[in-house]
Amino acid sequence: MKDKRVVFMGTPEFSVPVLEMLIKNTNVIMVVTQPDSYVGRHHELSYSPIKKVALKNNIEVYQPERIRKEFDHVLEVKPDIIITCAYGQIIPNELLDAPKYKAINVHASLLPKLRGGSPLHRAIMNGYSETGITIMYMAPGMDDGDIITSRSINITDEDNVGTIHDKLSILGSELLYETLPSIFDGTNKRIHQDESKVTFAYNIKREEEKVDFNKTAREVFNHIRGLYPFPCAYTVINGEVVKLCESKVGKELSGESSTITNVYKDSIGIKCKDREILITRVKPSGKKEMSARDFINGRNIEELKGAKI
């Protein structure tokens, strides 16, 4: 595969193992990634994780503001194949069919489930028992191209979006490595997606980060771990915004939802629709993440008990 000219398009840390595998096994002639951004209180210029890998390996980096209008430079380098993984922009039709082996995508779900930009979060938030990686041909629609291959992993109660991110990042690299030879020799499968089974994983909105304790405890548990460690679910306790990092489902309980029912030694009990959810790790506004025990120790327990959130 070393003779195949590859243009790779990706941006976040999730894409790094895929790019590193391609650098080792193919001829990556260009990396396309999102423009640099300014971050932090000091407004410091930040490179994407993918750009850092490309520069380290002396690979040309192209960072168009809008690839849909600025794609000619990609065509000029004459790639044999375009491979994308969490790039973050819609790829124009002019790029999809130009390479000899077309354009393929490494997508972090078992398509046709969870098309869109937040499949890692949504798989957990929706209570799925499994997720995976799909290698697919790119098409004009959102993640609706033909499936080449896929592989699944289980989602356990110990998983959160961070652990699933890491597992699928590695799995994507491994599955692409196994799949590329069949793409290059023309023996790969092309499976049309079943439109009747499509679900979507739209990007997480800020209002979705706030926990709704009128749902079941299991739904709240999935919500919290589905957003941890990024961007983090939150609630408001006695006027203070508190991010919720870890929890576990507690006992059946009657009473009014969205109320702190108990303050235990190492957790805060909050009444959900059907039972208690026990919050075990939090991140108060402007402070570091801490155990619920440390959070409780710094507050008036009587003011916490019975508080509406």
pLDDT at 39 over 90: no
Confidence tier at 40 by pLDDT (50, 70, 90): confident
Residue 202 forms part of a structural domain: no
pLDDT at 207 over 80: yes
Candidates 183, 91, 100; CA nearest to 144 is 91
Picking from 197, 225, 251, the residue at the C-terminal end of a domain is 197
Residue 242: predicted pLDDT? 97
What are the structure tokens assigned to 214, written together? 């009128």
pLDDT at 188 over 80: yes
Parallel, antiparallel or unpaired: strands 103-107 and 81-85: parallel
Residue 292: predicted pLDDT? 97
What mean pLDDT, rounded, does the chain reach?
96
Q: For 123-146, how does the pLDDT look when each residue is reduced to its tens digit (9 = 90+)?
A: 999 999 999 999 999 999 999 999
Same domain, 113 and 222: no
Same domain, 188 and 290: no
Torsion region of 23: left, alpha or beta (phi above 0 gives left; psi -120 to 50 gives alpha): alpha
Confidence tier at 109 by pLDDT (50, 70, 90): very high
What's the rounded mean pLDDT across residues 29-57?
A: 91
Same domain, 180 and 261: no
Domain count, the chain: 2
pLDDT at 264 over 90: yes
Q: How many CB atoms lie within 10 A of CB 152?
A: 14
Residue 255: predicted pLDDT? 85
What are the structure tokens assigned to 4, written together? 């195949």
What range does the domain containing 189 cover?
A: 5-197
Distance between CA atoms of residues 153 and 159, nearest Å? 11
Same domain, 142 and 234: no
What's the rounded mean pLDDT across residues 30-59?
A: 92
Q: For 54-84, how does the pLDDT look when each residue is reduced to its tens digit (9 = 90+)?
A: 999 999 999 999 999 999 999 999 999 999 9
The CATH number of the domain where 64 resides is what? 3.40.50.170
